[in-house]
Amino acid sequence: MDALQMTLIAGGLGAFAGGMAGVLTLSGTDLTGAGGEPAPLDRRLALGAYLLASHAVAAGALWQVPTVGSCIAAGLGAGWLGAAAAGLIALLNKPGRTTWRLAQIAGRLAIGLTMLAPLWAYVKIMQAQALTLV
């Protein structure tokens, strides 16, 4: 198994994890670590459906057309990295439940990086090919 195949598998796992986050959101599980009242039903349905559908599309595209799928997955991965950064800023502004919130940040970071991995591998391949043309 070469590096490209490994990154495609990592991207697929990241897409699966993001889809599962959507399923958990749809079921009413609090993924923020804030505790308290659950989010209103319409917000849960909108966010959960968005996560589930977008990650399912990314996984399908990675499977069928990896070059296009890696671009779709990278867009979602960038969103997960942004969510990890937002979680870190929120933690610094209002400490509390630190262990739980750090685990959430680490999970978002892991999903984001695994979903960016396929595009990174394709960029490296394109760079190597460009160097051989010069």
pLDDT in tens, 15-61: 999 999 999 888 887 666 556 677 788 888 898 999 999 999 999 99
Percentage above 90 pLDDT, the chain: 56
Residue 73: domain span = 3-133
The pTM is what? 0.85
pLDDT score for 34: 58
- Give the residue among 5, 10, 15 at the shortest CA–CA distance from 125: 5
CA distance 102 to 23: 21
Domain count within the chain: 1
pLDDT score for 119: 92
pLDDT score for 41: 82
pLDDT score for 39: 73
